Structure 1
């Protein structure tokens, strides 16, 4: 298996196709396999790279809590790109991966030609921030003691994920099966020290106002925890568009792959023709 060396962990990656690179960054409940419908579509014209985050086998699962968190998540994208000798790429992230993608745009803007930030913002509600963080510790402890078998089923029936089951039962079953294969320890570390310790997106307001990377926010209208944060991001990021898909929850790339691919394709085309900025 191919690996890229990042700080404190080797990261498993896959690449398919040729052309301008697209790097896909997965969410907490998924791994590189959940980008399959995007890779099949975009690898006809692009060089598509997926990778597994630290804590997700076959990437390494560090035992040191200090090797998890938002700083590593953004730096790991850059590490994979440098390993593959990619100076600039479109970067696409979902949920936890979207959070990393947004931070990557702030910290490594010279390496990003475009950002797709899908389903970002869970845990950013400032009024509920301490309760959210405490809940991540509880969840991490449950993963360590019980593993993923029952918790995967519970996750799949959560209010922002059950939409996938209603639309695509086979896709939902595959999502749950993949989740049950995840490392309980790696997931617990990620839950506690990344999900439960990251900044709310509102904390980045000053940096986001100066981030000039073309950005597409993608959101399902039933992904309730993310709606207000995305409205904030739309108001704050200069070269930013917001696309909302009706009757859709959190895993927008799995629920509505054709619509998601279409919107990304249109966005990338506009960026590549130099016509995304309304100032141009």
Structure 2
């Protein structure tokens, strides 16, 4: 299996297909490199597509040192994947945990991002739920350790924001749950503690987000309750951003509604490639309702 060695020696499994402008896909906590198969099969028609498993997700290495998991390290791994493939700039597409990493990539490495797709990002960002999120993250980590991924995946896969996926596409949801159960128990626990539970709230990044220049598409499902308000916040804060809300859709956006996701992301990328995704015109003041003078 092809691997790239991160700067700390961690081997990261990746796959790539297609040719053209590169797209790097960054998976969610409940997914892995396989989660992007509907996008790999679609976007390779026009782009060079790369998907990889984050550290802690086999066949990538599973470090056992907790300090080798963090939001900053996750972004470093993204850079190392691009460097290992000789890619200077790429479109970055991330879901949930990968969406957070994509956002931080845009802040730390604006020269490496052609554009950003930040999908399903918001868990733990809302200030009213910040303490709850950190506490429940620790409980999820404990359950992965004590019960193991094959057992606890059956519980985790039925989170509220994934029920709509289970109802509308039972076969797709079953494939997601099965792959989740194949994850490393210790890798999942350490990722939850080191990355999810310790990352800063999106709201704490407001000043930096207001200066971020990368064209950005924010995508949320309307039944992914804890991503809706953070999504609106990002739209109002990131200068060159657009907000897409998919109806009757939960957290697992790209595999729950692959046709819609691919269509809108494809249009976004094409618009960016034509330099037609500018920052919001300052004349469109959000505080103005009607023009009177």
Give the shorter-chain TM-score range: over 0.9
User: Conserved in 1, the CA contact under 8 Å of 2:239 and 2:279?
Assistant: no
State how far apart, in whole Å, the 1-side matches of 2:246 and 2:128 are. Answer: 27
Higher mean alpha-carbon deviation, 143-152 vs 76-85, is at: 143-152
State how far apart, in whole Å, the 2-side matches of 1:211 and 1:223 are. Answer: 25
CA RMSD of aligned residues (A): 1.1
User: Conserved in 1, the CA contact under 8 Å of 2:14 and 2:53?
Assistant: yes
User: Conserved in 2, the CA contact under 8 Å of 1:25 and 1:92?
Assistant: yes
Alpha-carbon shift at residue 278 of structure 1 (Å): 5.2
State how far apart, in whole Å, the 1-side matches of 2:34 and 2:143 are. Answer: 25
State how far apart, in whole Å, the 1-side matches of 2:170 and 2:133 are. Answer: 29
Count of aligned positions: 280
Residue 4 of structure 1: aligned partner: 4
Residue 85 of structure 1: aligned partner: 86
TM-score (norm 2): 0.94
SS in 2 for 1:161: helix
Structure 2 unaligned regions, length at least 5: 282-293
User: Conserved in 2, the CA contact under 8 Å of 1:155 and 1:161?
Assistant: no
Which structure is larger by alpha-carbon Rg, 1 or 2?
Answer: 2
Residue by residue over 1:127-151, the C-alpha shift from the partner in whole angstroms, topping out at 9 and shown as x without a partner, is 2212211221121111111102232
Residue by residue over 1:173-215, the C-alpha shift from the partner in whole angstroms, topping out at 9 and shown as x without a partner, is 1101100100000000001111111111111111111110000
SS in 2 for 1:71: helix
SS in 1 for 2:15: strand
State how far apart, in whole Å, the 2-side matches of 1:189 and 1:136 are. Answer: 11
Alignment of 1:50-199 (within 5 A): 50-199=51-200
Residue 200 of structure 1: aligned partner: 201
Structure 1 unaligned regions, length at least 5: none
State how far apart, in whole Å, the 2-side matches of 1:125 and 1:238 are. Answer: 21
State how far apart, in whole Å, the 2-side matches of 1:128 and 1:44 are. Answer: 41
Residue 251 of structure 2: aligned partner: 250
State how far apart, in whole Å, the 2-side matches of 1:225 and 1:44 are. Answer: 34
TM-score (norm 1): 0.98
